[in-house]
Amino acid sequence: MRLPANWPWTIVLLLVILPWLALAGLGGFWLWQNQYLIEGFLTLASFYGAATLLNLWLKHRQIEPFQLPAVQADERWSPAAEAIWVELDKLAEELNPADYPLTDSTRLLQLAQQVIRMVARHFRPKAGQAELDIPLRNILFISEQVSRDMRQLLDERIPFSHLLTIDEGLKLWKWKQKLERGHFIYRIGRMVFSPATAIPAELSVFFQGKVKQYPKGLLEQWLLRTLVKKIGYYAIALYSGQLAPPKLFEPGQPEPAPELKQPLRILVAGQLKAGKSSLINALLGEMRAATHVLPLTDDLTIYKLAQDDSGEVLIFDSPGYGEDSQWFEKEPERALGGFDLVLLVCSATQAGREADALFLTDLRNWFDQRLHRSLPPVLVIVTHIDQLRPLREWQPPYDIQEPQSEKARNIREVVETVAETLHIPAADCIPVSLQAGGDYNIDAIWTALAAKWPESKRARYLRCLPEGRGKEKLRMIWAQMANLIRV
């Protein structure tokens, strides 16, 4: 009979585990012999029961174990920025602190250069040395911001960091390395004093077929990951154009984002006779005259809506389109890329959806080719639901989640068909009636708009960013020239 190749390791395992199994058996026998078996079992069960109840309570209260803070992505970033952030996150997770000691400034500098190079090449793939395709002051700004953030993290999270000198820190680091070399002694001590936790750890080492190294220090790993992600965070913001250093010769933080100075733009689109004008009148509360704001194209009519909490909102009424005539094909840069939220109006009594599908396809393709922008959220407003069968029945409200009548079932069927045809979530398809003197479900539109507001603000931020940065560059040139003349 042939022995398995790993039989020597099996013997090692038996030599390690058998003494503890024998000790457990002898202990149980002693308890039984002295009539303490029941008391011992109850004591053990009480400890495990208390631990189980405490664990359930912590989960119920959602109390998480202690974790050091992680660097999060900016929710306003473009899809291109989100893509490179995923790569940086993967890089940070795979870093081994042993390869980048915190006392080796050369290795840390190389790591920082690697991060900046990754980000630069992502946003400037055609540049020969993409990392150099940025003003020098912006690189200095990255260093300044990362240094500031790391200092704040040390002050807030690391005890005694404000008291330890560099020399004392290096000495502590050397002592840490010496303690790591004595890990074998630690394992022996753990086996003696805590066999319940030591035996599973040793079994894990055995079944993996190799001896594990001492676990990476939580603190040093966190510092290294935080450093990488902080550098990546500011590099993404700068190379994507979403952040700039403070204005020349003026100390302080960067200026407020330029998009706050522009109103949010909502496009109302749809086929002929879908009910776009009736929807706008219902949203505004009464018939409004067009504003005197310069339209994006000659085909658009603009209405102004003031919101106390969200600032000014412009609603653009567009001409109805068909399969052969699309107003947005004349100037797609403005017509498709000039809005922060889209209300697509579809009539429940209109069978053809090809024109609507074509509009959404063109809209999505336009943004897919411009990853520095964000696709605005789309809400589909399904109108004329009062004209569905049975024609004479109209007794709102209707619960389409659990329809109790034929009318409600037909409304739900139309909503699901529109959602499936246009590849829009059913929750973003809102059935309404806009008949004169009897508007129905307009409140649901406002609720949906409020839910989409953060996405709309992100779209507005990325839309206004190039224009705002262009004006900022001109202001800086004038400031530089003015200071040069004074000198």
Alpha-carbon distances, residue 236 vs 107, 337, 475 (angstroms)? 22, 23, 24
The region of weakest confidence among 34-38, 67-71, 144-148, 166-170 is: 166-170
- Work out the pLDDT band at 442, boundaries 50, 70, 90: very high
Which of 39-43, 159-163, 178-182, 396-400 shows the highest mean pLDDT? 396-400
For residues 122 and 81, give the distance between their C-alpha atoms in angstroms, rounded to a whole number: 9
- Tell me the CB-side half-sphere exposure of residue 327, using CA atoms within 13 A: 19
Q: Is the pLDDT of residue 398 over 90?
A: yes
Q: Is the pLDDT of residue 104 over 70?
A: yes
For residues 124 and 240, give the distance between their C-alpha atoms in angstroms, rounded to a whole number: 9
Q: Is the pLDDT of residue 357 over 90?
A: yes
For residues 331 and 460, give the distance between their C-alpha atoms in angstroms, rounded to a whole number: 19
Please confirm whether the linkage preceding 4 is cis (ω < 30° from 0): no
Amino acid found at 231: I
**What's the rounded mean pLDDT across residues 284-299?**
60
Question: What secondary structure, in 3-state letters, does the chain show?
Answer: CCCCCCHHHHHHHHHHHHHHHHHHHHHHHHHHHCCCHHHHHHHHHHHHHHHHHHHHHHHHCCCCCCCCCCCCCCCCCCHHHHHHHHHHHHHHHHCCCCCCCCCCHHHHHHHHHHHHHHHHHHHCCCCCCHHHCCCHHHHHHHHHHHHHHHHHHHHHHCCCCCCCCHHHHHHHHHHHHHHHHCHHHHHHHHHHHCHHHHHHHHHHHHHHCCCCCCCCCHHHHHHHHHHHHHHHHHHHHHHCCCCCCCCCCCCCCCCCCHHHHCCEEEEEEEECCCCHHHHHHHHHCCCCCCCCCCCCCCCCEEEEEEECCCEEEEEEECCCECCCCCHHHCCHHHHCCCCCEEEEEEECCCCCCHHHHHHHHHHHHHHHCCCCCCCCCEEEEEECHHHCCCCCCCCCCCCCCCCCCHHHHHHHHHHHHHHHHHCCCHHHEEECECCCCCCECHHHHHHHHHHHHHHHHHHHHHHHHHHHHHHHHHHHHHHHHHHHHHC
pLDDT value of residue 63: 53
pLDDT value of residue 253: 43
Spatial contact of 59 and 65, defined as CB atoms under 8 Å apart: no
**What's the rounded mean pLDDT across residues 102-120?**
87
> What are the pLDDT digits (tens) for 259-289?
456 889 999 999 988 999 899 988 887 555 4
pLDDT value of residue 448: 96
**What percentage of the chain reaches a pLDDT higher than 90?**
31
Q: Is the pLDDT of residue 140 over 90?
A: no
pLDDT value of residue 451: 94
The region of weakest confidence among 32-46, 145-159, 194-208, 355-369 is: 194-208
Instruction: Quickly tell me which residue has 């003696």 as its tokens.
Output: 192
**What's the rounded mean pLDDT across residues 169-189?**
56
pLDDT value of residue 250: 41
pLDDT value of residue 418: 96
Q: Is the pLDDT of residue 251 over 50?
A: no
Between 442 and 183, residue with greater pLDDT: 442
The region of weakest confidence among 7-21, 427-441, 456-470 is: 7-21
**What's the rounded mean pLDDT across residues 281-304?**
69
- List, by residue range, all CATH 3.40.50.300 domains of the chain: 264-469
Between 91 and 487, residue with greater pLDDT: 91
State pTM to two decimals: 0.68
For residues 385 and 410, give the distance between their C-alpha atoms in angstroms, rounded to a whole number: 9
The region of weakest confidence among 269-273, 289-293, 443-447 is: 289-293
Alpha-carbon distances, residue 353 vs 107, 271, 445 (angstroms)? 59, 9, 21
pLDDT value of residue 51: 74
> What are the pLDDT digits (tens) for 10-68?
676 677 677 777 777 787 788 788 888 788 778 877 877 777 777 777 666 655 454 56
Between 170 and 402, residue with greater pLDDT: 402
Q: Is the pLDDT of residue 199 over 80?
A: no
- Mean pLDDT for all residues in the chain: 78
**What percentage of the chain reaches a pLDDT higher than 70?**
71
Superfamily of domain 264-469 in CATH is: P-loop containing nucleotide triphosphate hydrolases (3.40.50.300)
Between 486 and 268, residue with greater pLDDT: 268
Paired strand residues for 204: none
Q: Is the pLDDT of residue 364 over 90?
A: yes
